[in-house]
């Protein structure tokens, strides 16, 4: 008989009070991740969640895994250090469209270029949520926000692409909308299987 305990989604929940707004899509993402880690039988002592700053970046508090709530835009750099120090760890970056593509855009590009086998979840709500509504690199052109009262003039980065399809290297990406647990869970499959080229 195996002495390995089968973990349940609730085993990945921390004792911290979740402070996202009622109805926020972030709930379905965290529920999906917890369900998926349990379904995949991932040992939680191997999991490290690294985030930057933003509503989405509160994620590591709510997970009963190892984790680090970093500084704005630097989750990829911190996660790269963790992964390089111990390649056996299952290292996740939790970031937002502001955190990962504005202030952290440069780190995002270089962690993809280095291809150190991180699992990156970018919560794309097309706005800076935590700071109450400034436009981000994924805000649709023309969108009125607190910092673009006449409509954003910028071309936006689209999912899986840089502006107008140029830019970010393709290192095994998956995307989905935070409308259902099952839908987000399916994303884990491609990410789990992806191994960096040449390793």
Our CB check for ligand SF4 shows the closer of 34 and 57 to be: 57
Our CB check for Mg ion shows the closer of 41 and 140 to be: 140
Question: At its nearest, how many Å lie between ligand SF4 and the CB of residue 106?
Answer: 23
- Residue 185 DSSP label: H
Residue 79's contacts (CB-CB under 8 Å, 6 or more residues apart) are: 48, 50, 91, 92, 93, 111, 118
User: Could you tell me which stretch among 37-45, 93-101, 155-163, 173-181 binds Mg ion (CB under 5 A)?
Assistant: 93-101
Kindly state whether residue 121 participates in binding ligand SF4, applying the rule CB under 6 A: no
User: Could you tell me which stretch among 60-68, 109-117, 124-132, 171-179 binds ligand SF4 (CB under 6 A)?
Assistant: 124-132
Kindly state whether residue 75 participates in binding ligand SF4, applying the rule CB under 6 A: no
Per-residue 3-state assignment (H helix, E strand, C coil) for 120-184: EEEECCCCECCCCCECCCCCCCCCCECCECCCCCCCCECCCCCECCCCCCCCCCCCCCCCCHHHH
Choosing from 55, 78, 93, 181, the residue that interacts with ligand SF4 (CB under 6 A) is 55
Residue pair 92/134 in contact (Cβ under 8 Å)? The answer is: no
Kindly state whether residue 52 participates in binding ligand SF4, applying the rule CB under 6 A: no
Residue 129's contacts (CB-CB under 8 Å, 6 or more residues apart) are: 54, 55, 56, 96
Nearest Cα neighbor of 10 from 24, 31, 41, 25 is: 31
CA distances from 123 to 88, 129, 176, 181 (A): 25, 11, 10, 15
Kindly state whether residue 131 participates in binding ligand TPP, applying the rule CB under 6 A: yes
User: Could you tell me which stretch among 74-82, 95-103, 113-121, 165-173 binds ligand TPP (CB under 6 A)?
Assistant: 95-103
User: Could you tell me which stretch among 1-9, 87-95, 119-127, 173-181 binds Mg ion (CB under 5 A)?
Assistant: 119-127
Contacting positions for Mg ion (CB under 5 A)? 96-97, 125, 129
Question: Residues in the site for ligand SF4, rule: CB under 6 A?
Answer: 20-21, 24, 26, 55, 125, 129-130
Interface residue list for ligand TPP (CB under 6 A): 53-56, 72, 96-99, 123, 125, 127-131, 136
């Amino acid at each position: 008989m195996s002495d390995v305990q089968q973990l349940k989604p609730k085993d990945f929940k921390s004792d911290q009070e979740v402070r996202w707004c009622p109805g926020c899509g972030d709930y379905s993402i965290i529920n999906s991740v917890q369900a998926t880690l349990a379904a995949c039988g991932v040992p939680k002592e191997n999991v490290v969640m690294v985030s930057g700053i933003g509503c989405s970046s509160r994620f590591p508090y709510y997970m009963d895994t190892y984790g680090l709530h970093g500084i704005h835009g630097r989750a990829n750099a911190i996660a790269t250090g963790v992964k390089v120090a111990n390649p056996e760890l299952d290292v996740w970056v939790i970031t937002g469209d502001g955190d990962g593509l504005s202030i952290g855009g440069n780190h995002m590009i270089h962690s993809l270029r280095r291809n150190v086998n991180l699992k990156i979840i970018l919560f794309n709500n097309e706005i800076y949520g935590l700071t109450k509504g400034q436009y981000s690199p994924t805000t649709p052109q023309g969108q009125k926000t607190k910092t673009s009262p006449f409509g954003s003039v910028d071309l936006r980065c689209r999912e899986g692409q840089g502006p107008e399809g140029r830019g970010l290297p393709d290192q095994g990406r998956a995307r989905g909308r935070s409308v259902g647990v099952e839908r987000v869970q399916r994303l884990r499959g491609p990410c789990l299987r992806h191994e960096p080229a040449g390793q």
